[in-house]
Structure formats: C-alpha cells, structure tokens
C-alpha cells in the first residue's frame, strides 16, 4: 500500500511539473478547446495595429501642407540719424551711416494661390524694405506687399518672380472646428527651418486679448514659437484652419497657449486686399464698454444685455443719429449685441454710406435710431 501511494505522489508531482513547463513555454497549447480548434477572439479583445500603420501618425497631412508653407526673411534699413549731415557731428563721431546694420526679421507664410499670393501676418513684414520668400524645396523669390490689414494682423504678398508649379494649400472649414480636434502648426520657429508640431484645439472664439482690434482666435497647445508667425495651422487632413499669430509666454518660448486667426477670417481679408488693396469696414464713432449686472442695477435699466456707450465722437455718425453717452446699444441692423466684441463686429460688417437701424435703451425708454455708416479709419499697428 505504501509503494502504491509513493508511485501516485511521484506521478502527480511529475504531472504538475510538466504542466508548469507547458504553461510557461507553450501557453497556447492550453488555450485550445476539446476539438483542438483555437477559440475565436472575443469583442473585448483589441487586435494589435501593425507597425507603421498607427492611426496617430499625421505624416500624410504634413506632407500635403508643408510644401505650401514658406519662410519669410525681411530686412529694414537702419533709421537715419537726423544730425548725420551736420559737419561738426561727422567731425566728432565720424560717418555713422556706414556702420549701422540693417534690421533683419524672420517669419513664415502660406502660399494660397498658384498666381503666387502668400498669406502671412502684418507684423512679420511691417516696415520691411526687402522681403525674400524661401520655399521648402529651396527655391527663393522676392515678394512685394499687395495689402495689409493691421486690425486683424494679416498681410498678402505677391511673389515677384514666376515660379513653376507652386504648391498651394487647401482652405478648410475653420467654422466646423471643435475643441479637441487635432491640429498641426507648421512654420519656421527661431529660424531653424521648417518645423511641424502637433496639438489640439484648446478653445475657440478667444477675444479681448489686446492683440488685434478684431479678435476671434483659435487657441491651440501645438508648439508655436517666435518665427512661427504667419505659418499654417492645419487639420489632420492637411487643410488650412488658421494663420498662427501669437503666443502667451513669460519666457519668450512656447508655454502651450498659442493663437491662430481662423481661415475663414483670413480668406475674407485676403480677397478684399487682392481686389481692393484694403479691407473696408463700417464705423459709427462710439466708445463702448461692457454692461455689467451691477451697472444695469445702478441705473435701473430694464435690459440686462447690451453695450454701454461711454463716449460719442463729436460730429460722428452716431452723434448725428442721436446716440448719447449713457445709452445702451442692444442691437445693430437687427443683430443683438451683448458685448463690445459683438458690437464692433456688427458695425464693421455694415457697408459705408449705407444706413442701419440701431436699437438703444435710454433709461426706461427704448429708441430706434438710424445712423449713416462711415468707413472705418485706417489704424496703424504701432498706434494701437
């Protein structure tokens, strides 16, 4: 009896050892069912993506958009000393003109037309005496300024030399962007050469940042640095969604908060600059301020939304229409306005020399005034 128990225990030990070896070296042998056929994959199992086929790659979008993104180099002659012609000044200080070096600048741009039109930021080329554009394939050409719009910080250039087979970017529908969409920023940061960075749309409709007069920025965390200005913000298909314009930074480098002008705005400005050489906007001559709930309660106003007028230009269109300081504008041409940004945009959309109806709340009275719209004066970026 004892020998039988010893043989049984040894057999069990050998079987367990064999099972351990099989489970370690050939676990798939244990997954087969009684019929010898491997079980089917359940719906909870995720098949592995083959190498090189990962969905996180946006190389196709980069290859599609990158050729149309160009580097822009600008130069500006040094400021002339007003005393340079004074013989005594030249005697003591010598000829200063030969020693001064021209100011250089670097930025980016986007080719938007086969005719050689390039879209970029106004601050990239502002005040430049010479503008040179370099394509991603190494070709270079000088460019001239077609028109600028400092209030949106956009400018359109035209290549002075005819280059064959210019790469052109495709405009996308920036109005369809949503927070969380993947975007790529393409430009020339710090002058190191064309660079592609990726991120997502962090926010839409950013305004009141004090960057431009008309603001409706796309905010992204795609790395944008000095030199990226004027470059392209594209979607996962490589279509243009915006023009990279500014960053929020305390150090001068990227901190994950960048701003781009939507492609829809850039396209409207571009078409106006090409056709007319300028962007024509409406203007009525008022100084607006946000209407807060505290203000509405203090003045016993029956409205809670609108824009408070704190100043009216003497002799301007608004004053001639009867608008007074203290009035609250509630709508312009039938469009409700609840903020200074909405008021500014609504007035800008009006055609100069046309008449528009403005609804204002004056105390407990609601008035309908008709104003003859004037053309918005040109504003230099430096003077804002």
Query: Is 149 one of the annotated active-site residues of the chain?
Result: no
Q: One of 149, 153, 221, 327 is an active-site residue; which one?
A: 153
Phi, psi dihedrals of residue 255, rounded to the nearest 5°: -125, 15
Query: Is 264 one of the annotated active-site residues of the chain?
Result: no
Q: One of 123, 239, 264, 327 is an active-site residue; which one?
A: 123
Report how far apart the first and last C-alpha atoms of the chain are (Å, whole number): 106
Please enumerate in sequence order all residues whose Cβ is within 8 A of that of 162, keeping only pairs 6 or more positions apart, or say none. 116
Taking every pair of C-alpha atoms in the chain, what is the biggest distance, in angstroms?
129
Q: One of 108, 174, 229, 264 is an active-site residue; which one?
A: 229
Please enumerate in sequence order all residues whose Cβ is within 8 A of that of 213, keeping only pairs 6 or more positions apart, or say none. 150, 151, 152, 344, 379, 384
Query: Is 142 one of the annotated active-site residues of the chain?
Result: no
Angle at 343 between CA 340 and CA 344, to 5 degrees: 85
Q: How far is CA 108 from CA 57, 136, 189, 221, 278, in A?
A: 24, 11, 9, 19, 22
| Beta pairing partners, 74 | 105, 131
Beta carbons of 358 and 364 less than 8 angstroms apart: no
Q: Where in the sequence numbering do the catalytic residues fall?
A: 123, 153, 229
């Amino acid at each position: 009896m004892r020998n039988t128990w010893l043989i049984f225990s040894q057999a069990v030990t050998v079987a367990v050892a064999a099972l351990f070896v099989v489970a370690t070296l050939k676990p798939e042998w244990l997954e087969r069912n009684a019929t010898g056929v491997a079980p089917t994959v359940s719906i909870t199992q995720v098949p592995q993506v083959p190498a090189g086929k990962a969905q996180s790659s946006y190389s196709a979008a980069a290859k599609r958009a990158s050729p149309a993104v160009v580097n822009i180099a600008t130069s500006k002659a040094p400021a002339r000393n007003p005393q340079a012609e004074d013989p005594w000044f030249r005697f003591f200080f010598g000829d200063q003109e030969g020693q001064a070096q021209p100011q250089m600048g670097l930025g980016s741009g986007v080719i938007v037309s086969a005719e050689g039109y390039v879209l970029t930021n106004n601050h990239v080329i502002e005040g430049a005496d010479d503008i040179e554009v370099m394509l991603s394939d190494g070709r270079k050409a000088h460019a001239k300024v077609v028109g600028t719009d400092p209030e949106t910080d956009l400018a359109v250039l035209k290549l002075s030399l005819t280059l064959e087979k210019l790469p052109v970017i495709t405009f996308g529908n920036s109005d369809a962007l949503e927070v969380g969409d993947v975007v790529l920023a393409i430009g020339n940061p710090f002058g190191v050469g064309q660079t592609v960075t990726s991120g997502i749309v962090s926010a839409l409709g950013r305004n009141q940042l004090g960057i431009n007069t008309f603001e409706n920025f796309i905010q992204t965390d795609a790395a944008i640095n000095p030199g990226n200005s004027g470059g392209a913000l594209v979607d996962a298909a490589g279509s243009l969604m915006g023009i990279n314009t500014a960053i929020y930074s305390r150090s001068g480098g990227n901190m994950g908060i960048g701003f781009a002008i939507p492609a829809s705005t850039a396209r409207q400005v571009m078409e106006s600059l090409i056709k007319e050489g300028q962007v024509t906007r409406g203007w009525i001559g008022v100084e607006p301020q946000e209407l807060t709930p505290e203000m509405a309660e203090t003045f016993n106003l029956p409205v809670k939304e609108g824009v408070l007028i704190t100043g009216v230009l003497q002799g301007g269109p608004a004053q001639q229409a009867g608008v007074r300081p203290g009035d609250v504008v509630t709508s312009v041409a039938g469009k409700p306005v609840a903020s200074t940004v909405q008021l500014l945009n609504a007035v800008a959309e009006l055609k100069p020399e046309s008449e528009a109806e403005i609804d204002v709340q004056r105390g407990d009275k609601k008035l309908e005034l008709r104003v003859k719209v004037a053309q918005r004066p040109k504003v230099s970026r430096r003077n804002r």
